[in-house]
Structure formats: C-alpha cells, structure tokens
Amino acid sequence: MTKADIVSEIAKQTGVDKASVLVTIEKFMETVKDSLANGENVYLRGFGSFIIKTRSEKTARNISKNTTIIIPKHKIPAFKPAKVFMAQVKNEDEAKAEN
C-alpha cells in the first residue's frame, strides 16, 4: 500500500477530500521525523512507537579490498508495534493459513 492508496482509503472512509487528507498525512510524517531528529520518541497507543535505537560500534569487512573498517556508534529510527497491533497481524496470518 502506497501513500496515495492510504490517502484514497482515508478520504473514502471519512468523506474528507483527498487534498486535506494528504496535507494531514504529510504533516504527521514531518512531525514524527522532526521529533526523532530531536531525540524524542513518538508513542501512539494501540498502534506502536517510533523510537531511536543506538547501534554499537562494530568492525566490518570490505570483501573486494580485503580490508576491515570500523563503523562508529550511530542512531537509527525504528518502529516498535504495540502488542494489540502485533496480535491483530498474527491473527490475520493464522486466519489466512486456515483457508
């Protein structure tokens, strides 16, 4: 599902025009990105959390040059789904497997 598909689905279900829905979704994504960039996690009860994970420093190999490099400690954005969300996804997988 793409962003355009999400916009169409929300517009269809709510009766709000697609342009307004698109602006709302864009602002939501911008707010999440800005919050994570400022070191703040975003918690959406019943859906999940957008969090910042810290990756440790590690040694990697460049196979083509046969050298090792050090990848420094760094932060990455991540999504952690809520338990309710996970249960819903798992139940859908089980329902599909039964059919």
pLDDT tens sequence across 71-99: 999 999 999 999 999 999 888 756 565 65
pLDDT tens sequence across 15-62: 999 999 999 999 999 999 999 999 999 999 999 999 999 999 999 998
Contacts of 68 (CB under 8 A, 6+ apart): 59, 60, 61, 62
Can you give the pLDDT at residue 94?
Answer: 62
Contacts of 61 (CB under 8 A, 6+ apart): 67, 68, 69
Can you give the pLDDT at residue 62?
Answer: 87
- Is 17 strand, coil or helix? coil
